[in-house]
Amino acid sequence: MKHLPNDQWLEKQMEKNSTKLPVVRVAWIDSASTHGWQRPEDLKGTGLNKVETVGFLFRNNKKEIHVLQSVDGSHNFGERMAIPRPCVQSVKRLQ
């Protein structure tokens, strides 16, 4: 895995030009839940889900990673995904 910048570097990039944030793919494990009454046989195959999220790296620290879906040149962003570090399996820098 290539070195990923930390929060301080990312904050300086946002001040300069938000479109220059690194693009990453994060593989992580998401929690799952069910609703209503169920029989034990209905629960087979349910559980944790492996997810991949691609976007602009906005936060990167020991507690969490934040990925943005969209950014513009005016420091606006949309669709932030905050992923707890213990759920992260891998992070790959794409550009």
Q: Would you state the pLDDT for residue 15?
A: 65
Spell out the alpha helix ranges (H) of the chain. Answer: 7-16
Q: For the segment 38-76, what is each residue's pLDDT rounded down to a tens digit?
A: 888 877 776 788 999 999 998 888 999 999 998 877 778
Average pLDDT, the chain: 83
Q: Would you state the pLDDT for residue 87?
A: 95
The model's pTM: 0.76
Give CA–CA dist 75/93, Å, rounded: 21
